[in-house]
Structure 1
Amino acid sequence: MFWRKDGQELHEDVDHGEILPNHDGTFQMRVDLNISSVKPEDWRRYDCVFQLYGVEDIITKLDETVIRTNCVIAAVSLLAAILMAVTGFTVLKKKKAPDHSSELSEKLHPET
């Protein structure tokens, strides 16, 4: 698997991830293209090529509608961090709150 621009294989701004096994005996791989310096109007010049022995190349054009960006991951991570902070603050606040249940019990049942 590799990225091309205008039909030429790219080596710059390309990160080849690990080849990882799946539970069913197949494998998965990832090749990331850093598009931060690519103008949106030039995206049509890029494509990803997947080659498998005995099968015709599978070519996927760079398309904004199917790109997963780090912005989405960052937003989800930030939301999770905020949720954890709020939960932690609530739990800490409850632990530090004075326990008035024994005083109330004494007032209701002074003979015990």
Structure 2
Amino acid sequence: MFWRKDGEEFHEDVDHGEILPNHDGTFQMSVDLKPDASEDWSKYDCVFQLTGVEDDIVTRLDKAEIRTNWEEPSHMTLLIAAPVVVLGVVFIAVITGLIIYFKKKRASRPPSSADNSLELSETGSGEMSEEAEPELNEC
């Protein structure tokens, strides 16, 4: 398989792809052409030579029938990108909410008993409660 331009075999800007097997035991081959968009594409022919067949199979390049990479992006891109973005924002919001929740929960819990004894020793308050016996002072 090869490309012709104005009847002559053409090799510039041609990418020879791999030969790949199909599920039915046949094979496929690609030879990609990258013509200038402003050029007359009808000058190009794709020529396929098959063993055992006398005549070549020739297909003229027609812009109306050939798919290119120059097409505008389809709406499918938007249909896929929008949910992905929304899910990403929701994920970030959930993670942020969980972080805030656990920080507030940690800040609002009462200190442990080890923390209480530390606080008393730091303040040095030996205040007496009403149930404690008063100290006697001698004069």
TM-score, length-normalised on structure 1? Answer: 0.68
Structure 1: how far apart are the matches of 2:5 and 2:52? 24
Q: Which runs of 5+ in 1 are unaligned?
A: 99-112
Distance 1:27 1:81, change over 3 A: same
Match of 2:29 in 1: 29
Match of 1:49 in 2: 47
**Bigger Rg, structure 1 or 2:** 2
TM-score, length-normalised on structure 2? Answer: 0.57
Q: Which runs of 5+ in 2 are unaligned?
A: 99-139
Q: CA deviation at 1:80?
A: 6.4
Distance 1:38 1:71, change over 3 A: closer
Distance 1:86 1:39, change over 3 A: same
Bigger CA drift: 77-86 or 55-64? 77-86
Q: CA deviation at 1:97?
A: 4.5
Equivalences, count: 97
Q: Give the number of the structure whose residues are more often strand, by fraction.
A: 1
Q: CA deviation at 1:94?
A: 4.6
Structure 1: how far apart are the matches of 2:14 and 2:79? 29
Structure 2: how far apart are the matches of 1:87 and 1:59? 49
Match of 1:11 in 2: 11
Name the aligned partner's letter for residue 64 of structure 1.
K
Name the aligned partner's letter for residue 54 of structure 1.
G
Structure 2: how far apart are the matches of 1:16 and 1:94? 49
Percent identity, aligned pairs only, is 56
Deviations 1:13-32 (A, max 9, x none): 00001111111111111110
Name the aligned partner's letter for residue 58 of structure 1.
I
Q: Give the number of the structure whose residues are more often helix, by fraction.
A: 1
Superposition RMSD on alpha carbons, in Å? 2.8
Structure 2: how far apart are the matches of 1:91 and 1:71? 35
Structure with the bigger RCO (C-alpha within 8 Å, sep 6+) is 1
